[in-house]
């Protein structure tokens, strides 16, 4: 079975531009979460979506937005890019949102470099 997939793998943008990152969860998983990992740090929670609705948002500015589609795939959008947005963006999927069995499985990430 395929794991979580993300595209693109790498991306280079300049300040002020917009970027869209994509994620496909494990088949059957309905919850998708996004994390930002800057160099040398642990991942930081950005968003969680479940059944196409936003269920949680981390401490990130409104330049960050996301959505989940009927097939449970998801997009993360970042507007007006700043140098500090350079990071590894990780997508994680889980079977259900609130379950004692919940484990988040991560994709390979998208490395974003903002110049």
- Tell me the C-alpha distance between 92 and 113, whole Å: 21
Can you tell me which of 22, 29, 52, 55 binds other proteins, judged by CB under 8 A? Answer: 55
Question: Of 63, 56, 8, 61, nearest to 32 (Cα)?
Answer: 56
Can you tell me which of 33, 68, 74, 93 binds other proteins, judged by CB under 8 A? Answer: 33
Pick between residue 44 and residue 73 the one whose CB is nearest to other proteins: 44
- Tell me the C-alpha distance between 107 and 115, whole Å: 25
Neighbour tally for 58: CB within 10 Å: 14
Can you tell me which of 24, 107, 112, 114 binds other proteins, judged by CB under 8 A? Answer: 107
> Is 98 a residue that touches other proteins (CB under 8 A)?
yes
Can you tell me which of 2, 28, 39, 42 binds other proteins, judged by CB under 8 A? Answer: 42
8-state DSSP, 95: S
8-state DSSP, 51: T
Note the residues at the interface with other proteins (CB under 8 A): 31, 33, 35, 40-45, 48, 55-58, 88, 90, 92, 94, 97-98, 100, 102-109, 111
């Amino acid at each position: 079975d395929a794991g979580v997939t993300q595209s693109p793998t790498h991306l280079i943008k300049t300040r002020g531009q917009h970027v869209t990152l994509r994620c496909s969860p494990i088949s059957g998983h309905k919850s998708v979460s996004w994390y930002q990992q800057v160099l040398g740090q642990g991942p930081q929670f950005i968003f969680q979506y479940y059944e196409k609705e936003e269920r949680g948002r981390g401490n990130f500015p409104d330049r960050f937005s996301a959505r989940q589609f009927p097939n449970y795939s998801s997009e993360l959008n970042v507007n007006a890019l700043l140098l500090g947005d350079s990071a590894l963006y990780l997508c994680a999927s889980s079977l259900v949102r609130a379950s004692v069995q919940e484990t988040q499985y991560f994709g390979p990430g998208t490395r974003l470099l903002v110049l």
